[in-house]
Structure 1
Amino acid sequence: MIDITTIVIVLGVFATSSAIIYFIWKYLIPKLQSLTSSSTEVKTKRIKNIDTSIELLKLEFEYAKESSIQAQQDRLTIMNFYLGLYTAINGGYIGIQQIVPENVIEYLPLTFLVLSFLSYIFILQIIRLRQAWHESAMVMNQIKEYFFKRDESLKDFITWRIDTLPKPEKFKTINYFTSFLIAILGSISLAIGLTLFSVPILLNVLITLLYLVICLGSYRFMLEYNV
């Protein structure tokens, strides 16, 4: 005959086991699933954020690259336009004297003075394009530094970095020689204009040299201090 105490113990164990199983099924398993799901969502979100950041950097790099290319192309366009303008004004000065009244001819040398002023304006444009190129190059190199931190071996394959990027005011660059050429042509125009206005030779030379110094000094100063 089965002892009542044994039955009570068995029922108690069964009830306790059932309660534990119910608790695990009702509360513990959903909680674990929730934690696992949250962890997975966090990891997925982090991966998505990384992908989004890299995509954003790609877009920024492409924009900076296009801006630097555009700055180089604009420099060439400006130089071609200046040379065309310079040639047209100098060539037109000779031909226009035959068709304008004599009382106007005495004011024609002003065209050379205006041309020298325009030459300085063109130099300022070259300076601004150099600054724009340097800003774009800095952005691209900052993005490179981000990837260098993730993979140091990339430094062995990339030449231009923030510490190796040429300074904007560096001499012996295409921008500098372009500005130097414009400054020389502007100085010649200024000297011709002053000569036609019968300015004394010594004063003419001093003014022309001062103009040349201002042009080249502006190039150096504005690029070095990013004015």
Structure 2
Amino acid sequence: MIAITLLTGRVAPLPGSDKLSGIAKHPVDQPLTLGREGFEGDEQADLRVHGGVEKAVHHYPFDHYAAWRTDLGELPLLDGPGAFGENLSTTGLTEDGVAAGDIFRLGSALLQVSQGRQPCWKLTQRFAVPDMARRVQDTGRTGWYYRVLEAGKVAPGDRIELIDRIAPEWSLRRLWHALYVDRMNLEELRGIATLDVLAEGWRKYAIRRLENGKIEDWTKRLEGGA
């Protein structure tokens, strides 16, 4: 079992912009109710692409912060968890060892890994690093999302415990490699297309590539679009 830092955030303008986001998360000091669409008091500005039942909780490994400090320098944002919009921060869990469908107990809630995190331009705006979203995508240091199988209470310092593995062979690292690196590996795409514990949005990428032989253009999402 691994102790968590629990974080939430309210919608506010992004630095140097009038565009709103809930990406700035801060540690909380009291137990929170976790429902099907996330923690009480946590907000997202654009519900078309953030939040919802398949992105109810965002987990980002604090393990990655040292690598980001090496890449970017000693940015104040990297002094503590919350820089990447995460609700849960831990050390000891990364994309290499976490798989789609993994089920975790946290407090009295039950969570299931639904998909990896897809970085967007708001990370670039938050960090004031011109290609930050693309860096996150290209490195695979993305974090991941949970769906909530059972609502409950979660407190700061609670321990997250893996209790079941549905598809352990489909690590988040493997999924990232198939979707972002070896992008037309037909065997991998067929596997993803039928991986029913994976969020439908991610399975659709694989299905579309298999059907039309084309790879999505994510430029708008990464560089300043909707």
| Shorter-chain TM-score range | under 0.3
Compute the TM-score of the two structures, normalised by the length of structure 2: 0.26
Between Structure 1 and Structure 2, whose CA radius of gyration is higher? 1
State TM-score, norm by structure 1.
Answer: 0.26
